[in-house]
Structure 1
Amino acid sequence: MPDTPDTRLADFLPYLLSVASNAVSSRVADAYARQFGLRIPEWRVMAVLGDAGARTQRDLTTQTLMDKVAVNRACRALEEAGLASRTANARDGRSHHLELTAAGREMHGRIMPLALEMERQLFEGFSAEERDTFRRLLGRVREAAGDFDPEG
């Protein structure tokens, strides 16, 4: 970000994305902790497993964009709560697949309506076209960030 009188942190898009993300995550975290005893990393892992089925921790790290330690802790917490279980990876004896248990699938099924309602409330001031545009633009930002090389 160039150091000019016109540049303000409040106008810096990465800052705005971070603040918006933290505000939404905090709101979601409160609801999930209060109603389900889950932290955000645990829900992110559950959401991926609920959508995609069994995954290795490496897959979960890639899909959630969380660091390995956070994914490991989330997986361990889900296992200890009886919401997920590990099975040996037949293709790679060094890794395991994590998948939701019946209790995990049941909880996932109870959380999804809450998540969708929270999304609805968050975007109720947006038109359908604005929501679609927002999703598309966020996808483009995510793609660009994946290809971004600050040195190049």
Structure 2
Amino acid sequence: MDAFRSGNPRTPAFQVERYPFYLLTRLVSRYNTIIDTRLRAIDLDIPSWRVLMILGEKSPRSARDISDTAVINLSTMTRIMQRMIAAGLITKTQSNTDARVSMVALAPEGEKRLATARQATAPIYEHLVNGLAPDEFEQLIGLLNQLHDNLEPLVP
């Protein structure tokens, strides 16, 4: 059977187990269930963890950049950030170059929590990629990016 036909919802040969978006959703759901348990044990939720991980790469960043990178709409991200500010995990200031832009940075407590979160979540990542050769991992990353890029022209 043609591999593309069995994953195409237009065809009678469609099989949900061959549909890439089902497989991706299933993977992310299982991963989030496991990660959520680990994060709750250290008093974090998944959205806050995403913000900490993003700021761990580069801090400060604009609120819009964090929202886009986390794939969370800006209004929801604003509420997440308000909770994180109240918890002392991040700080928010106005940009020096554009007063309309909010800049977000890790607070010292956020840096500590990020280090703890990395220790808590790293074993899951390591288990997830166990058995993949480096070139297979690079191929996986490339394929996922290609699928994402293929959708770009269709984004409204």
- Fold match (TM-score > 0.5): yes
Q: Describe the superposition over 1:78-127 as per-residue Cα deviations: whole angstroms up to 9, x where unpaired.
A: 11110101112122212321111111111112222333221111121323
Alignment of 1:1-152 (within 5 A): 1-34=8-41, 36-145=42-151, 147-149=152-154
TM-score (norm 2): 0.85
Q: CA deviation at 1:130?
A: 2.0
SS of aligned partner of 1:126: coil
TM-score (norm 1): 0.87
Q: Which amino acid aligns with 1:31?
A: R
Distance between the aligned counterparts of 1:91 and 1:12, measured in 2?
Answer: 46
Indicate conservation of the 8 Å contact 1:41/1:70, yes or no.
no
Q: CA deviation at 1:2?
A: 4.0
1:53/1:114 CA distance change after superposition, 3 Å: same
Shift >4 Å, 4+ stretches: none
SS of aligned partner of 1:148: helix
Q: Describe the superposition over 1:36-77 as per-residue Cα deviations: whole angstroms up to 9, x where unpaired.
A: 211111111111111111112111111111112331122112
Residues paired across the two proteins, number: 149
Gaps of 5+ in 2: 1-7
Indicate conservation of the 8 Å contact 2:89/2:109, yes or no.
yes
Percent identity of the aligned residues? 21
